[in-house]
């Protein structure tokens, strides 16, 4: 089962690269095919312009996908954070 989860996680990370080779990767493609959580704000340092951020989880890493906020919302970048790079804090 671990191998299946790892393979699925690798596919999620590879989606933007594959889509960019075939054409423009946009948020609609990501939203319909990748389980994710919408972030209210992007992590510090990622919001260089008007963008939206979404996060996925795979093993001990979080992957933050950045998309432009307007138009077709094209893919901008993905940033990976491993367990030593972040701390989850519960708020009310």
Tokens of 81: 């954070």
Widest CA span in the chain = 43
Is 78 among the domain residues?
Answer: yes
pLDDT in tens, 22-60: 578 999 999 999 999 999 889 888 877 799 999 999 888
pLDDT in tens, 53-92: 999 998 889 999 999 999 999 999 999 999 888 777 777 7
Is 92 among the domain residues?
Answer: no
pLDDT at 18: 52
Is 21 among the domain residues?
Answer: yes
| pTM of the model as a whole | 0.69
Is 49 among the domain residues?
Answer: yes
What range does the domain containing 80 cover? Answer: 2-85
Q: Count of domains in the chain?
A: 1
Is 52 among the domain residues?
Answer: yes
- By CB atoms closer than 10 A (0-12, 13-18, 19+), residue 79 is middle
pLDDT at 23: 73
Cα torsion angle, 43, 64, 30, 40, sign: negative
Residue 1 banded pLDDT, cuts 50, 70, 90: very low
Is 27 among the domain residues?
Answer: yes
Is 66 among the domain residues?
Answer: yes
- Residue with token string 């990767």: 25
């Amino acid at each position: 089962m671990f191998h299946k989860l790892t393979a699925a996680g690798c596919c999620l990370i590879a989606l933007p690269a594959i889509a960019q080779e075939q054409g423009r990767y946009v948020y609609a493609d990501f939203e319909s095919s990748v389980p994710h959580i919408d972030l209210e704000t992007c992590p510090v340092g990622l919001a260089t312009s008007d963008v939206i951020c979404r996060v996925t989880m795979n093993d001990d890493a979080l992957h933050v996908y950045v998309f432009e906020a307007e138009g077709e919302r094209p893919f901008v970048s993905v940033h990976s954070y491993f367990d030593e790079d972040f701390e989850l804090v519960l708020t009310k």
